Amino acid sequence: MPQATLAECPKCGAKVRKDKLRRHISTVHAVGPKPAKGAAPAVATKVSTVVFPWKVIAVLVAAVVVVSGGYYVATRLPAGGTPGGSGTALAVMETNFGEIKITLDLIRAPKTTGHFISLVNAGKYDGNGFQRVAYNFVIQGGKGADSSKIAWELTGLKNVHYTVAMARVAGDINSATCEFFINLKDNAYLDAPPGEQPYVVFGRVTAGQSVVDAIGNLYPAGNYQYDGPPTSTVTISRITIVG
């Protein structure tokens, strides 16, 4: 019998019969047959993964920021500011010197504003006037219009130029009744009077500032310490809440 021809395995170097080499490789080294020409490629097994919804979370975070920002604006107003939209009401004051429009703050000063509006709607200020001019300080009106008191409230609004606040008896923060004043300049002193709480701001003059200035100039010429009745009568014919 002729001696079998041996061949060297390219995988492991073993000497095997040449006619057995292919079988050796396929069985020992587990090399499968090549795919037939034109056969569809093997489909890779899909690995199940969970995609973190970053875009959705980003949208939700943005929405929270917008809502929170709106709430902050509505409840944390800048000094002397008033909110917009349904958070305000407009009081139109008609005087013999002209018209003054006051934007009332319903959000930050709900009790004080509500008290003022109730007096206005009851006609308490009709025919009243401004009885005090304090040079470069305030003009004050509404004296004797009513005697019902309103409890002090913390609004966070500041006594800055053209803001409107309730007057009171010194030393009694719950003594405000009907008298109000309009600041003729920034009066930080009224936000921190010694031993007392701030004077309650509840609105701001948003039209008719020139009328306020004209009333504020009703003091004796050259008397820059003046604090008393205006040198000309200032009458409030009526106040109307229009929105």
| Phi and psi at residue 203, to the nearest 5° | -170, 180
What's the domain range around 16?
A: 1-34
Q: How many residues does the chain have?
A: 243
* Residue 100 sits in the same domain as residue 2: no
Cα–Cα distance for residue pair 243/240, rounded to 1 Å: 9
**Is residue 1 included in any domain, yes or no?**
yes
The answer as to whether 126 is a domain residue is yes
Tens digit of each residue's pLDDT (9 = 90 or more) over 182-240: 999 999 999 999 999 999 999 999 999 999 999 999 999 999 999 999 999 999 999 99
What is the per-residue pLDDT for 75?
35
Residue 57 dihedral angles phi and psi, to the nearest 5°: -65, -40
Q: Is residue 28 part of a domain?
A: yes
Residue type, 3: Q
For residue 139, give the CATH number of its domain: 2.40.100.10
User: Cβ distance 216 to 133 under 8 Å?
Assistant: yes
Residues paired with 139 in a beta bridge: 133, 182
Low-confidence residues of the chain, pLDDT below 50?
1, 31-52, 54, 56-59, 61-85
Instruction: Say whether both 152 and 221 belong to one domain.
Output: yes
Is the same domain home to 144 and 216? yes
Q: Are residues 17 and 112 in the same domain?
A: no
Query: Number of folded domains in the chain?
Result: 2
**3-class state of residue 214 by DSSP:** helix
Pair of tokens at residue 32: 């499968």
Residue 67 lies in a domain: no
User: Do 15 and 93 have their domain in common?
Assistant: no
Q: What pLDDT is stored for residue 13 in this prediction? A: 66
